[in-house]
Amino acid sequence: MDSTLAKGLAVIEWLARQQRSCRLVEVAQAFDLQRSNAHRTLQTLVACGWAIQDPAGLGYRASLRLFELGSLVDAATDLKSTLRPHLAVLAQETGETIHLAALEGAEIIYLDKIDSPLPVAAYSRVGGRAPAYCVASGKALLAALRLDAAALAARLGALAAHTPHTLIDLPALMADLEQVRERGYSENRQEWRLGVCGLGAPVFNARSEPVVAVGISLPAIRYTRAHARRISASLLDCAGRCSQALGWPQA
């Protein structure tokens, strides 16, 4: 275990629970630290934005960053419970693995998942990440953001080839995202992992902002054009119902 990290986390939790400004000597006594050691820990927390030092320099308190992150966790939990019934319907209709994913920077994070009952299914895990430009849910959200080439390049950075099918040319990716906007859903044709394909569609909130994406993952051996057309209709219906549940005015 990293003792320095553990100490810093313990100090910020302690500060948050005090609900007031605390002097250096209080922190040192609470953790049986030398004043110089406590000072370094507190200054690191201040520099990283986790704590605030009083203007007079006499006390420290937890910043609102903890509240901000806690609110995000609460929001993600509420989102999952609100949308899971719609994901369950999609899972039953398609028989494939269903995901709920959010965009964070250049990656997507899987928030929820319903596994396929079929013996051959796509593998993923809740909390896992993937490059947004390689997977269907990520491309669905990138398309919904309607970024220009400069903004997209700044967000994604260098495009690495994870398979021979990965789109690493920015103009080609931009053209692909335009197609996503036209038909309403995205496709991943073995762009992240060989043997795995997928479809994705964005979910919008009451402010018409894309907040998450619903995704379907399936083995490439089942990804025929006829099957893709059939499950894409169910996917779009599910994404529309999810958006409606979040108050999207166009749903």
Identify the DSSP state of 148.
-
The Cα–Cα gap between 104 and 4 comes to 27
Summarize pLDDT for 105-123 with one digit per residue, the tens. 899 988 889 988 776 556 6
The Cα–Cα gap between 123 and 65 comes to 34
Confidence bin at 133 (pLDDT 50/70/90): very high
CA of 222: how far to CAs of 6, 99, 118, 228, in Å?
47, 18, 11, 9
Summarize pLDDT for 137-165 with one digit per residue, the tens. 999 999 999 999 999 999 998 999 999 99
- Is residue 154 left, alpha or beta, with left meaning phi > 0 and alpha meaning psi from -120 to 50? alpha
pLDDT at 250: 73
Confidence bin at 202 (pLDDT 50/70/90): very high
Partners of 62 in beta bridges: 51
Partners of 6 in beta bridges: none
Confidence bin at 127 (pLDDT 50/70/90): confident
Confidence bin at 175 (pLDDT 50/70/90): very high
Q: Which domains does the chain have, with CATH numbers?
A: 3-63 (1.10.10.10), 71-245 (3.30.450.40)
pLDDT at 190: 94
Tell me the one-letter amino acid at 229. R
Q: Which helix or strand (DSSP H or E) is residue 90 part of? A: helix 65-94
* Residue matched to tokens 């009083």: 54
Q: How far is CA 124 from the centre of its chain?
A: 14
